Structure 1
């Protein structure tokens, strides 16, 4: 026969564990919203900010693209992309950017299809299997150097969103790269808002592992190849995202979704 005291203790433990997780979730989301907010780039001026941030990171810092006189890095995919930025509330400056590329015409491709199609070996999850409006790609994530001043952000890969898992601590929020995570969450919110069922990302395997710490479980759909460093194709959909996301970061995603939804009129059914 079960000891009544043991049953009560077990129930109390579950209640306390749930309470602690709830408080952690509120703390993480509040920490983000106290200092940062997601912004959909809906004007020419904001898009110029997007392209300037990308020029700083991809052209000047990493050398992935040639330096341009106008300090604006953009390509053919930007015409059918929705761009988001993270704004630093204290200064009003923009601390990073990301885009969601969504082709709508038959001739439009995802970047991963144009440059790395050979790397996708998963037959059923090849983007060619779906209608154009059913696929998208998260790409061109960039965090400029001036917003990576902490020791935890000063390592290779931080400019494009990687997380240094050696310095990450569940109890030390100051070590967490909220700008990069906020950008991923903003992109996810756009994907969910637009009801796009299939999302692709070309990224470093260590970045995919880093995302696993948040409960974001990308599915690898091909081998690691050389493309601006070692990268591999990954797939995710809203169901995979929500079923594995940790409670703490689910709260953060929900709050960012509310903010993005409030700006939904800025991107509607068209790319921005």
Structure 2
């Protein structure tokens, strides 16, 4: 991996993108339109609809994170954190139903931890113009080995790193400790190569391709966050905390 030549990550990231907590109805609709473009129109995972907004019943209790492109100011990527049902904490999150028989509960058992501090990461989507591998028709966000660069031409995958740091900041604000997801094995491998702690804890299932149940322990992830990412995370955290504070004021 050849990432140490990226220079000042915080300043370089700010040239191209910003990450925001989607707390207003207007910003949430922008997120839903990105999801419709990727999940419905491009990949065909969900049906298209006249409103051109992709939503489901989990959005009512989800934290939405948006990636904005500085070049034109529009939202080009997103991810959400689905929280457990406050009226029925034992009710399964979507991944728990999809891979109920494939979870290795000796590693972590989602049913036995404090479910007030649990989320599922889902609906990760990036518009095709901003994905490195535009020909990769099976993934809403792809990272290839080339995205990590070479010794002579170092590169940095700003989009996945920005969204990942954004969701960690949202999780910190809301006291979330366990972040579960169904992830592509390739994406998990590349995020691990970037220095993030992602633990696979079950067998692959077929869900829009092969997906493996995975978990991020937030405190562990922050304790091992690569040092050159810390200034970018601190900046995102300040902004996202401010946005959530304004929402509750």
TM, length-normalised to structure 1: 0.81
What is aligned with 2:33?
52
How many Å separate the matches in 2 of 1:167 and 1:111?
Answer: 30
Q: Matches of 1:266 and 1:136 in 2, distance apart?
A: 23
Aligned to 1:12: none
Q: Does 1:79 align with 2:57?
A: no
Deviations for 1:120-171, whole angstroms, at most 9, x for unmatched residues? 12245221112331211111010011223xxx43352785333112342276
Give 1:202's aligned residue.
182
Greater radius of gyration (CA)? 1
The runs of 4+ residues in structure 1 deviating greater than 6 Å are none
Residues 61-210 of structure 1 mapped to structure 2, 5 A cutoff: 61-103=42-84, 104-106=86-88, 108-123=91-106, 125-148=108-131, 152-156=132-136, 159-169=139-149, 172=153, 175-210=155-190
Cα gap change, 1:52/1:231 in structure 2, threshold over 3 Å: closer, same or farther?
same
- For residues 142 and 91 of structure 1, the distance between their equivalents in structure 2, rounded to whole angstroms, comes to 18
Assess if the C-alpha contact under 8 Å between 1:86 and 1:96 holds in 2. Answer: yes
Q: Whose helix proportion is higher, 1 or 2?
A: 1
Q: Structure 1: where are the runs of 5+ without partners? A: 1-20
Q: CA RMSD in A?
A: 2.4
Paired position in structure 1 for 2:197? 217
158-167 or 227-236, which deviates more: 158-167
Asked if 1:260 is matched to 2:243, the reply is: no
> 1:166 is paired with a residue of what secondary structure?
helix
Structure 1 pair 259/157, CA: closer, same or farther in 2 (3 Å)?
farther
User: Structure 2: which 5+ residue stretches go unaligned?
Assistant: none
1:39 counterpart = 2:27: no
Q: In structure 1, the residue corresponding to 2:124 is in which secondary structure?
A: strand
Aligned length in residues: 244
Deviation at 1:98, TM superposition (A): 0.7
Q: SS of the residue aligned with 2:146?
A: coil
Q: Is the 8 A contact 1:153 1:177 kept in 2?
A: no
